[in-house]
C-alpha cells in the first residue's frame, strides 16, 4: 500500500508545520527544552498544568489553546464535542509533525486519547456534557486506577471494594502503578462491586475527583529516577452513582475499551520513526567510525521494523476512524511497539559504543542527549504496563486467530 501523501495531504502537512512554527511557545524550543525533555520526561504538559512554574503553566495553556482553535488537541473526537473531525491520514500526519517538532501532547496521556474516546462509546449524554469539555480544556487531568498489589497482568483479580450507600459508592482499598496520580485531579478506574460474581462480572468502572484525605498518593520512583506511577490508597472515598461509566458489574468491558485505545500505538510509531532519523543524523554529523556490517545491518533492521509498526498503527487508526474498536489489532500494536522500543534503544547504544552508555544529557559526548540510554532503562516497563506482552499474545491468539484458550 502506498502511504505517500496525496496533494491534499501534503498541503495539510505544510499547514501543520507552519502552525507549529508560528504558535509553539518558546518554552518548548531550544537547547534548554531539549534537556528538560530528556532529563525530566515526567514533567510533561500535564505536570506543568498542575505543578509547573508560572512560565510553564502559561506555555502549557497557550499551546493547548492554540491547538484547540483547530480542534487538534482532540483530533479523533467528533467536531460536536470539540474535536477536529480529521480524516485518518490527517490525524496521523498531525501526530507525525507534532512528534517531529517534539511539541508536547496536550490533554494528558490518560485524558483526551483514552478516557475521552471511552466516554464517547459508553457515556450517557449527561456524562459527556460533564466530562468531555473540561477534559478537552485541560481542567480535568486524569489518572488511571487499574492495577493492584495482587492484580497486575491478571487485572480481573482486583479487590478494591466499592459498596453502594444510597446515591453513592464507598470505596476502600489500594491501587498500584497508578499512572500520573501525582499530577491529576480526577481518576478513572475499575472497582469490585460484587465479590460473589465471576471475577470479570463483578467489576464497575467509575470516575471520581481526587480528594484528600480520602485518596492518598505515594510516589513510586523508577530505576531511571523518574516519577510516573504511584501507590494510591482509598479510605471511605465516596463516588456519586451517576459517575459510574457503563453498567454496574459490567465495568470490565468498559475498561477493555479504554485499553484498546491505550494500546493503539499510533503515537509510538511516529516517535520511533523520528528516533531512527535522529540516530542516522547523529552518525553522519559526528563521523562515527565504521562499526562493522553487523551494526549497519542491525540499524537497517530497526528501520524496517519501524515501517512495519507504522503500517500497524495506520491500520488501527483506520479502524478507529471507521467507528470500529480495534481489539486484537491494538494488542498487536502494543506488543510490537513496546518490544521494538527495547530493540531500538539497544541498537542505538551499541552503535555509539561506550558513549552510548552516558547518562548526562548535558555531556556533549552523549549521543542524542543520552536518549538511547534513558530509553534502554525506561522501556523495560513498556512490555509490562498496560498489559504484558504475554497477555497481548494471548489476546491475539484467542480473539485474532480463534485459537482455544489453555
Contact (CB, 8 A) for 107 and 136:
yes
Residue in 326, 343, 339, 327 with CA at minimum distance from that of residue 388: 339
Dump pLDDT digits (tens) for 96-115. Answer: 888 888 888 887 678 988 89
DSSP letter (8 states) at residue 367: G
| CA angle 263–122–209, rounded 5-degree value | 85
Contact (CB, 8 A) for 120 and 78:
yes
| Confidence tier at 31 by pLDDT (50, 70, 90) | confident
DSSP letter (8 states) at residue 113: I
Contact (CB, 8 A) for 199 and 255:
no
Q: Supply the CATH classification number for the domain 263-400.
A: 1.20.140.10
Which single residue is written with the C-alpha cell 493547548? Answer: 64
pLDDT at residue number 378: 84
Number of H helices, E strands in the chain: 13, 7
pLDDT at residue number 292: 67
Residue in 246, 127, 145 with CA at minimum distance from that of residue 187: 145
Residue in 139, 19, 35, 115 with CA at minimum distance from that of residue 67: 19
Average pLDDT, integer, range 40-46: 71
Q: Where are the domains of the chain?
A: 7-106, 142-249, 263-400
Count of other CB atoms within 10 angstroms of residue 224: 18
pLDDT at residue number 288: 63
Question: How far, in Å, CA of 299 to CA of 321, rounded?
Answer: 33
Check pLDDT > 60 for residue 263. Answer: no
CA distances from 372 to 35, 267, 269 (A): 14, 18, 16
Dump pLDDT digits (tens) for 114-164. Answer: 899 899 999 999 999 999 999 998 889 999 999 999 998 789 999 999 999
What are the backbone angles phi and psi of residue 236, rounded to the nearest 5°? 55, 40
Contact (CB, 8 A) for 104 and 92:
no
Which single residue is written with the C-alpha cell 510533561? Answer: 44
pTM: 0.81
Which single residue is written with the C-alpha cell 483530533? Answer: 75
Check pLDDT > 60 for residue 1. Answer: no
pLDDT at residue number 208: 98
Question: How far, in Å, CA of 203 to CA of 271, rounded?
Answer: 35
Which single residue is written with the C-alpha cell 500505538? Answer: 265
DSSP H helical ranges for 52-105: 54-68, 88-100
Helix (H) or strand (E) holding 16: helix 7-23
Q: Supply the CATH classification number for the domain 142-249.
A: 2.40.110.10
Question: How far, in Å, CA of 398 to CA of 373, rounded?
Answer: 36
Q: Which residues contact 289 (CB under 8 A, 6 or more apart)?
A: none
Dump pLDDT digits (tens) for 204-232. Answer: 999 999 988 999 999 999 887 788 899 99
Question: How far, in Å, CA of 370 to CA of 247, rounded?
Answer: 47
Cis-peptide, bond into residue 213, ω within 30° of zero: yes
DSSP H helical ranges for 221-369: 251-262, 266-285, 293-321, 328-351
Q: Supply the CATH classification number for the domain 7-106.
A: 1.10.540
Contact (CB, 8 A) for 265 and 169:
no
Contact (CB, 8 A) for 348 and 279:
yes
Contact (CB, 8 A) for 392 and 334:
yes
pLDDT at residue number 294: 81
Amino acid at each position: 500500500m502506498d502511504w505517500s501523501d496525496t496533494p491534499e495531504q501534503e498541503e495539510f502537512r505544510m499547514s501543520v508545520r507552519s502552525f507549529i512554527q508560528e504558535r509553539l511557545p518558546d518554552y518548548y524550543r531550544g537547547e534548554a527544552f531539549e534537556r528538560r525533555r530528556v532529563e525530566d520526561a515526567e514533567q510533561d504538559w500535564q505536570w506543568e498544568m498542575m505543578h509547573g512554574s508560572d512560565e510553564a503553566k502559561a506555555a502549557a495553556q497557550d499551546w493547548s489553546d492554540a491547538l484547540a482553535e483547530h480542534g487538534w488537541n482532540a483530533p479523533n473526537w467528533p467536531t460536536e464535542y470539540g474535536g477536529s473531525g480529521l480524516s485518518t491520514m490527517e490525524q496521523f500526519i498531525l501526530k507525525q509533525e507534532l512528534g517531529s517538532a517534539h511539541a508536547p501532547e496536550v490533554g494528558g496521556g490518560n485524558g483526551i486519547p483514552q478516557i475521552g474516546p471511552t466516554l464517547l462509546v459508553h457515556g450517557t449524554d449527561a456524562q459527556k456534557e460533564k466530562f468531555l469539555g473540561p477534559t478537552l480544556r485541560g481542567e480535568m487531568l486524569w489518572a488511571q486506577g487499574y492495577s493492584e498489589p495482587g492484580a497486575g497482568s491478571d487485572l480481573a483479580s482486583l479487590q478494591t471494594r466499592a459498596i453502594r450507600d444510597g446515591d453513592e459508592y464507598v470505596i476502600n482499598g489500594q491501587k498500584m502503578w497508578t499512572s500520573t496520580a501525582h499530577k491529576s485531579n480526577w481518576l478513572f478506574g475499575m472497582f469490585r462491586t460484587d465479590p460473589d460474581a465471576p471475577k470479570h462480572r463483578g467489576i464497575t468502572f467509575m470516575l471520581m475527583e481526587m480528594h484528600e484525605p480520602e485518596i492518598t498518593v505515594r510516589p513510586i520512583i523508577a530505576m531511571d529516577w523518574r516519577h510516573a506511577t504511584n501507590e494510591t490508597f482509598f479510605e471511605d472515598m465516596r463516588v456519586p452513582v451517576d459517575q459510574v461509566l457503563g453498567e454496574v458489574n459490567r465495568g470490565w468491558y468498559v475498561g477493555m475499551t479504554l485499553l484498546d485505545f491505550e494500546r493503539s500505538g499510533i503515537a509510538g510509531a511516529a516517535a520511533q520513526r523520528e528516533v531512527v532519523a535522529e540516530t542516522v543524523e547523529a552518525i553522519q554529523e559526528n563521523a562515527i567510525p565504521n562499526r562493522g556490517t553487523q551494526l549497519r545491518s542491525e540499524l537497517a533492521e530497526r528501520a524496517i521494523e519501524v515501517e512495519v509498526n507504522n503500517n500497524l498503527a495506520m491500520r488501527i487508526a483506520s479502524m478507529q476512524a471507521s467507528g470500529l474498536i480495534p481489539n486484537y489489532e491494538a494488542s498487536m500494536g502494543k506488543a510490537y511497539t513496546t518490544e521494538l522500543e527495547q530493540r531500538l534503544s539497544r541498537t542505538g547504544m551499541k552503535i555509539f559504543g561506550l558513549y552510548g552508555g552516558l547518562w548526562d544529557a548535558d555531556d556533549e559526548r552523549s549521543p542524542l542527549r543520552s536518549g538511547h540510554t534513558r530509553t534502554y532503562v525506561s522501556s523495560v516497563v513498556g512490555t509490562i504496563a498496560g498489559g504484558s506482552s504475554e497477555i497481548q499474545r494471548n489476546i491475539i491468539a484467542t480473539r485474532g486467530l480463534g485459537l482455544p484458550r489453555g
